[in-house]
Structure 1
Amino acid sequence: MAQIGEAVAQVASRDALARARLRASLVPDLLVEARRVVNTVIAGWHGRRKRGIGENFWQFRPYVDGEAVSNIDWRRSARDDHIYIRDKEWEAAHTVWLWADPSPSMLYKSQGASVSKESRALVLVLALAELLSRSGERIAWPGLTDPFSARNGAERLASHLLHASTLAAKPDLRPLRRFSDMVIAGDFLDPVEETQEWLDPLARRGVRAHLIEIADPAEETFPYSGRTEFRDPETGERLTAGRAETVSQDYRNLYAARRHELASWCAKLGWSYTVNHTDRLASDALVKVHMAMTADARAGGR
């Protein structure tokens, strides 16, 4: 029995090493693709629309007794009989945690998809890292990096991924604090209850989460017929369907119900839920998550 356990452990170790090598080979190209996506979508992350300390002009407003004279814009004030203050835009940085699901199921790529789910998830995470870094936000990957701020944040994060021998199937979320954000890119094929149990501590601590479901078109449409064998990439279990088309409708109903339940749960918490198909553009999801995070920041006054 001990020999069997040791053999299983050796196989698991070899699989983990193979996954690490595969990821390392993909990361440089994925970083290039992430930057291309960012440059296509947006030239930077807009500042927070709130008065405060910053470099960008926001508005002129009337001077109020007691304010610092140094804040007066004398050129604007000279135009009429009023004294004006030159306000700048608030640009307080906060921390955004980024994570892409490293589960074996993310390696799936059907004939109708342009990339694997893992590749798409990593591109989106690196694209967000690039976008956030350009605006001075702090970024981090739970269990891999501490929060940091750098103009080359995407490159630094890619370097950490390049040299990571293993990535936790479910990272420790205890370091995440109130008013931070977390972006999670994965297929969310686990039972909804398990996903909720994992993420519920974030909601209780006041962390805003943005879930990006990476979906392969074949997983959603179930285009199979006749005798078909299915294999679970997580457990290796196999299931043979004599006539796959007879279960297609039940499968699609269950698949849609899982997504609807998880998306509804996120909506109740004030979180965002975005679906990105691997036969469509990564930029679609990037725009939606960008808008959700910007709306959250403005609503929260951050």
Structure 2
Amino acid sequence: MSVSPTDLRGPSDLRARAEAAAGHLPGLILSAERLAALVAPGAHGLRRAGPGEDFWQYRPAGVGDGARSIDWRRSGRSDTQFVRDREAQTAQSAAIWLSRGAGMDFTGGPDRPTKAARGQVLALALGMLMLRGGEKVGLLGQPARAGRIQADRLAEALATPAPDAGDAPAPALRPNLRVVILSDFLTDPAWVAALLAQAAGLGVTGLMIQILDPDEAHFPYDGAVEFRSGSLRHDSRDAGGLRAAYLARLAERQAWLSEQAQRAGWGFGTHLTDADPAQALSWAWQALGQGAR
């Protein structure tokens, strides 16, 4: 009987993989910090109006704004009455989930990272941006905390091997949480509909970011190819003949994911590992900001 490396889950093997992951922590943190600074160098969080002391913005007075809420000094400089909004000081909570499925370890070439590695950087960079703004952030199912030290906790949790983690997150939602899901969404997507239905009932908003390798997005294969994903194997003598059907199925899956997200009031986007990660992070940051208002 042969034993594959993925079946070695004893204490010594787990310790070895944990030590190897810890060795990557400095690089992961540095990459995420650089990415976060590139996307939002002066970020102060996802601001919103609410009870607080800090000034946020002036806005024209509307229905429901009483005389006491009018800023008469600012209004005196124009023909319009203005209200002085303050920024809410109640910390919001956000949860991040990154798929640990076997398919996330795929890369189609040595010149690009695995989907898991790109997901780690995006998840940590997004977490750092939210932490800078006073948000409470944690991995889904773990405590959400604020503060700079929480970024180190997130990095360690993202880099630590999780051999028992699957392709779907555990149902750990709670009211008014904001959630970011990063996955390739190539396995059975039934959990997506269930998660979003639960989220809608709890008032949970969020984003789904699909991370794909360019080979998965374009299917450039021809001839005899063996496709592998974890313990699954498929031998094809004419991979090129599968291209049209594969791309049609992928487009169908992406359209379904987008529709499910829209129904729940979530955002959905796709990111390829050969693209600039700043593009995906910028989209996610702006989408979260729009959802916060």
TM-score bracket for the superposition, by shorter chain length = 0.7 to 0.9
> TM-score when scaled to structure 2?
0.83
1:227 to 224, 227, 245: 224
RMSD, aligned α-carbons: 3.3
Task: Answer whether contact 1:109 1:116 (CA < 8 A) is retained.
Answer: yes
Task: Answer whether contact 2:9 2:163 (CA < 8 A) is retained.
Answer: no
Structure-2 residue corresponding to 1:58: 57
Q: Confirm or deny that 1:252 pairs with 2:247.
A: yes
Q: What is the distance in 2 between the residues matched to 1:255 and 1:111?
A: 21
Query: How many angstroms does 1:171 deviate by?
Result: 3.7
Q: What is the distance in 1 between the residues matched to 2:111 and 2:37?
A: 23
| Structure with max Cα Rg | 1
SS in 2 for 1:59: strand
Task: Answer whether contact 1:47 1:91 (CA < 8 A) is retained.
Answer: no
**Which stretch has the larger CA shift, 87-96 or 245-254?**
87-96
Task: Answer whether contact 1:49 1:89 (CA < 8 A) is retained.
Answer: yes
SS in 1 for 2:137: strand
Between Structure 1 and Structure 2, how many residues are aligned?
284
2:183 to 167, 186, 195: 186
Relative distance call for 1:142 and 1:166 in structure 2 (3 A) is: farther
**Matching residue's letter, 1:190:** T
Structure-1 residue corresponding to 2:275: 280
After superposition, the C-alpha distances for 1:139-175 in whole angstroms (9 at most, x for unaligned) are 11123x311111343223113445566563244333x
Relative distance call for 1:294 and 1:250 in structure 2 (3 A) is: same
Identity level (%): 29
Relative distance call for 1:18 and 1:246 in structure 2 (3 A) is: farther
After superposition, the C-alpha distances for 1:161-210 in whole angstroms (9 at most, x for unaligned) are 45566563244333x22221100111111123243234432232221121
Relative distance call for 1:45 and 1:197 in structure 2 (3 A) is: same
Task: Answer whether contact 1:107 1:118 (CA < 8 A) is retained.
Answer: yes
Unaligned 5+ segments in structure 1 are none
Task: Answer whether contact 1:113 1:216 (CA < 8 A) is retained.
Answer: no
Structure-1 residue corresponding to 2:116: 118
1:195 to 192, 196, 206: 192
Relative distance call for 1:158 and 1:167 in structure 2 (3 A) is: farther
Q: What is the distance in 1 between the residues matched to 2:91 and 2:150?
A: 14
Unaligned 5+ segments in structure 2 are none
> TM-score when scaled to structure 1?
0.80
Residues 109-258 of structure 1 aligned to structure 2 (within 5 Å): 109-111=107-109, 114-143=112-141, 145-162=142-159, 166=163, 168-169=165-166, 170-174=168-172, 176-233=173-230, 236-258=231-253
